[in-house]
Amino acid sequence: MAELLKERSEIAEEFKWDLTKLYADDGAWEKELENFGQLVDRAASYQGKLKDAENIRKYLDAATELERMLSNLFAYASLRKSEDTREEAAQSLYARIYSRYVQAVQATAFADPEILLLDEETLKAVAEDPLLADYKYPMTKLIRQKAHTLTAPEEKLLAGFGEVFAAPREAASNLQNADMVFASCKDGEGRDTEVTGSNYILLQSSKDRVLRKNAFMSYYDGYRHHINTFAATYAGCVKKAAAEAAARHFASSRQMYTFYEGVPELVYDNLIASVRKFMPEMYRYVRLRKKLLGVDELHYYDLYAPLSDGVTKTYTYPEAKQMVLDAVRPLGEEYGKVVRKGFEERWIDVYPNKGKRGGAFSEGTYDSVPYILSNFVGTLDSVSTIAHEMGHSMHTWYSNHAQLPQNAEYTIFVAEVASTVNENLLIEQLLSDCTDPKERMALLNQYLEGFKGTVYRQTMFAEFEKEAHAMAERGEALSAGALNALYRRLIEEYFGPDLVVDDEVDMEWARIPHFYTPFYVYKYATSYSAAVAVSEAVLAQGEPAVKKYLEFLSLGGSQDPLEELKHAGVDLGTSAPIDAALEKFGRVLDEAEALADEISSQASDVDC
């Protein structure tokens, strides 16, 4: 029988993150919260005074101090809640700071409209005043938003609905992470195996096809019983986005979300067009997977199955740490020292436990270390996840140490570049040391899975979002049936005729939490493509490429994202990086197909 998840109290301290670097304990958090209202009042006191550079500078300083405290309080509560989503004390911290967050947004909602009420000549003079030199880029972004900023009372009213607008996301998260229970399933030998949100992908990676199928059926049976609820929560999220976009004079919710990140909608459309152009490469991969697994029909529960014996190899956490350190060696001594610091100073919450949030993420503040949540289970994918999240944390580290707080937070659009660079360097390092054909096939499969999951799959998600939001904007109902049908059509188009699309697959959209952050997922695909360009350059060029890349990491959020990427040598204003990444996918696939033939030939020789 599979090992049951431990309670958090049973996990050794060395494998838990050290949140004392943020607050000593919940009591210290409570004490800080007592001062929060004073900072809100201080920022709010500038209402009616934002008519000149001096007062605008004072307000911006007050707002930045408020945001730093809010960020610290919010991060601690969020991290505590993630440790065990069942814990009422942590839920209380999160609920209370979310309420205070809404209060702060309401109290400062006057500022942008008030500044933007200044006439064009005055506004330009204020923005160029030396007093606001430290806020040059935030002011540039603000002025850009003039046409989409409402009056002060309207902005305050909209801000007041913050908790209401977040309700669909919170309801879906609580249902998925805390309330849903899945029936245990049988493996190929008839043994019972626990199915949870945390171990589902691990079960789908098993060599035991009976276990994969039964876990798949159990998991989506759980979603089937709640699918109408998930449809309602997602519809609420989409309708909120559409309503806000209309109120802010955007043509669509997609236009609104891309505008605020300084990214043209053309980037989104170029991504979809490029990926669709390279669909035959994905169909080749599906056929290769079917061939290597030796199955008459390839089902969805076969998509994560290991393609060779090498993929069953497992790693201890100490081994994983060393693998990551070896992988990032091409990025220089300084980078490696900080990564080691992260491991030694317990930035990472390592293992799964009962109630722990599934998946993985990096989260930190300007004043804290960048923490990492993982659910490490010893697979190569788990090692890759550590490398991935450490990339996020290193991006945060470099940004926070190079930029003022108002310029440190990088946009989501560039966020996945650093994480994927680390993942790619890990795979390239492992491939460079690997001579065993079956192990090499496992590594090539890991590489191919990265492309499949991050470029093809996330682009498919992006199409799903684009069409779901368009449906809502046309007044069409986002019912479970409509969302299921849309998702199924895209699965069929993206994976091709060699994949049997089981009915359970229709409901997969309901388990994707990123859909509750509209138009987020396409950035995984664009970032992955940029990361391929960076990692290839680092390995081919060495120091010159490393210098450019570290410069990019240090920019934080001080420039528009497309301009920041140009510092790293990537121009996503064109489709060239997407095409180049997918051409790399084709080359890796070529090697995997050739290696598959070699392994097959060797097996035939042995049989003879």
- In this structure, what are the phi and psi dihedrals at residue 299, rounded to the nearest 5 degrees? -105, 170
Domain total of the chain? 1
Q: Check: CB of residue 528 under 8 Å from CB of residue 416.
A: yes
**Residue 44: strand pairing partners:** none
Selection from 295, 194, 283 nearest residue 498 by Cα: 283
pLDDT along the chain (608 residues), means of 10: 76 96 95 95 97 97 97 96 92 93 92 92 94 96 90 86 87 89 94 91 92 96 96 96 95 95 93 97 96 94 80 86 97 97 97 91 96 93 94 98 97 91 95 88 88 95 98 96 98 97 96 94 93 94 96 96 95 93 96 88 59
- In this structure, what are the phi and psi dihedrals at residue 376, rounded to the nearest 5 degrees? -70, 125
**Inside any domain, residue 113:** yes
Count the neighbouring beta carbons within 10 Å of the beta carbon of residue 354: 16
CA dist., res. 518 & res. 499, Å (int): 28
- The confidence score (pLDDT) of residue 309 equals 58
CA angle 210/212/213 to nearest 5° reads 65
- The confidence score (pLDDT) of residue 1 equals 35
CA dist., res. 132 & res. 138, Å (int): 10
**Inside any domain, residue 512:** no
Full-model pTM:
0.82
CA dist., res. 519 & res. 188, Å (int): 40
**Inside any domain, residue 503:** no
Which H/E stretch holds residue 587?
A: helix 576-607
Which DSSP letter does residue 179 get? I
Selection from 451, 335, 549, 542 nearest residue 326 by Cα: 335
CA dist., res. 192 & res. 195, Å (int): 10
Selection from 475, 333, 459, 375 nearest residue 17 by Cα: 375
Domain of 78, in residue numbers = 22-160
Residue 4 burial by Cβ neighbours in a 10 Å radius (0-12, 13-18, 19+): exposed
Distances from the Cα of 460 to the Cαs of 165, 274, 471, 521, in angstroms?
Answer: 26, 12, 16, 9
**Inside any domain, residue 145:** yes
CB burial readout 231-256, b (16+ within 10 A) else e: bbbbbbbbbbbbebbeebebebbbbb
Identity at 153, one-letter amino acid code:
P
CA dist., res. 58 & res. 47, Å (int): 12
Give the CATH number for residue 91: 1.20.140.70
**Inside any domain, residue 412:** no
**Residue 348: strand pairing partners:** 372
Selection from 470, 500, 503 nearest residue 487 by Cα: 503
3-state secondary structure of 299: strand
CA dist., res. 110 & res. 250, Å (int): 21
Pair of tokens at residue 34: 């007592």
Q: Check: CB of residue 446 under 8 Å from CB of residue 380.
A: yes
**Inside any domain, residue 111:** yes
Pair of tokens at residue 81: 């809640």
3-state secondary structure of 113: helix
**Residue 298: strand pairing partners:** 499
Residues 6+ apart with CB under 8 A from 364: 75, 370, 371, 393, 396, 400
Residue 71: CA count within 13 A, CB half-sphere: 18
CA dist., res. 477 & res. 159, Å (int): 26
3-state secondary structure of 207: coil
- The confidence score (pLDDT) of residue 2 equals 46
**Residue 363: strand pairing partners:** 371
**Inside any domain, residue 395:** no
CA end-to-end span of the chain: 38
Known catalytic residues are 389
Three-state SS sequence of 547-563: HHHHHHHHCCCCCCHHH
Distances from the Cα of 12 to the Cαs of 3, 22, 354, in angstroms?
Answer: 17, 20, 14
**Inside any domain, residue 125:** yes
